[in-house]
Amino acid sequence: MKIGYARVSTADQSLDLQMDALNKAGAERIFSEKQSGGKWDRKELQRCLDVLRKGDTLIVYKLDRLGRSAKQLREIADDLQERGIELVSIQEKLDTATAMGRAMFGMISVMAELERDIIKERTQAGLEAARARGRKGGRPAANPQKVKQALVMYDSNQYSVAQITEATGISKALLYKELNKRKESSQA
């Protein structure tokens, strides 16, 4: 049986490209999720790996969809090989059923880890450069007057939360955070 696995890192990304490619490659069943590849405990990946049986083929769009570190990819590949399951990566044109495919897998998994490390280094360097110029990350602090206005509106019981956030420009999360703070301080 050919089983596909698709993954994107964030909820706002689309799985469509991967799903189309997996279907075209003949995947009879596809597991998909929106989760960081750096995480080991991906629910759908685990379900996918549990379903695979000897003689099956796991198909992924790219190896970095399966895992982001060489160690993680190696562990998955070793497990698949021990269980008699082949691995196919569409983009890399990789098939572990061949000696060349297994060799390429090792090289590509190292490159996937390198790419992830370079992205981390660039992000850190960018954050440090911004801090050196006096910038901080995160959202700017909310206007205290707007927060106070939102609380007064909430207490009046005349406005919905949506109306309050629209009128004041503060987020729903901040409104609830401030309400919880107030509640905690009154209980103390």
CATH number for the domain harbouring residue 113 = 3.40.50.1390
Predicted local distance difference test score (pLDDT) of residue 48: 95
Predicted local distance difference test score (pLDDT) of residue 188: 67
Domain presence at residue 59: yes
Q: Where are the alpha helices (DSSP H) in 56-143?
A: 63-66, 70-82, 99-132
Question: Residue 5's closest CA among 75, 64, 72, 59?
Answer: 59
Q: Is residue 9 among the annotated active site residues?
A: yes
Question: Residue 93's closest CA among 63, 55, 52?
Answer: 63
Domain extent, residue 95, equals: 2-127
Q: pLDDT by residue for the chain (188 residues), tens digit each?
A: 999 999 998 877 899 999 999 999 999 999 999 887 666 678 999 999 999 999 999 999 998 888 767 778 888 888 998 999 999 999 988 888 888 887 887 787 777 778 878 988 999 999 899 889 988 777 778 899 999 999 999 999 999 999 999 999 998 989 999 998 888 888 86
Predicted local distance difference test score (pLDDT) of residue 186: 81
Predicted local distance difference test score (pLDDT) of residue 37: 65
Whether the CB-CB separation of 80 and 55 falls below 8 Å is answered with: no
For residues 51 and 97, membership in a common domain is answered with yes
Beta carbons within 8 Å of 77's beta carbon, 6+ residues apart: 87, 96, 105, 109
Domain presence at residue 188: no
Q: What is the DSSP letter of 69?
A: S
CA-to-CA distance for 176 and 173, rounded, in angstroms?
5
For residues 104 and 39, membership in a common domain is answered with yes
Predicted local distance difference test score (pLDDT) of residue 7: 93
Task: Give phi and psi for 160, each to the nearest 5.
Answer: -80, 165
Question: Active-site residue among 9, 89, 171, 186?
Answer: 9
Its pTM stands at: 0.59
Domain presence at residue 186: no
Predicted local distance difference test score (pLDDT) of residue 1: 95
Question: Strand 2-8 relative to strand 29-34: parallel, antiparallel, unpaired?
Answer: parallel
Task: Give phi and psi for 9, each to the nearest 5.
Answer: -80, -30
For residues 114 and 150, membership in a common domain is answered with no
Predicted local distance difference test score (pLDDT) of residue 39: 64
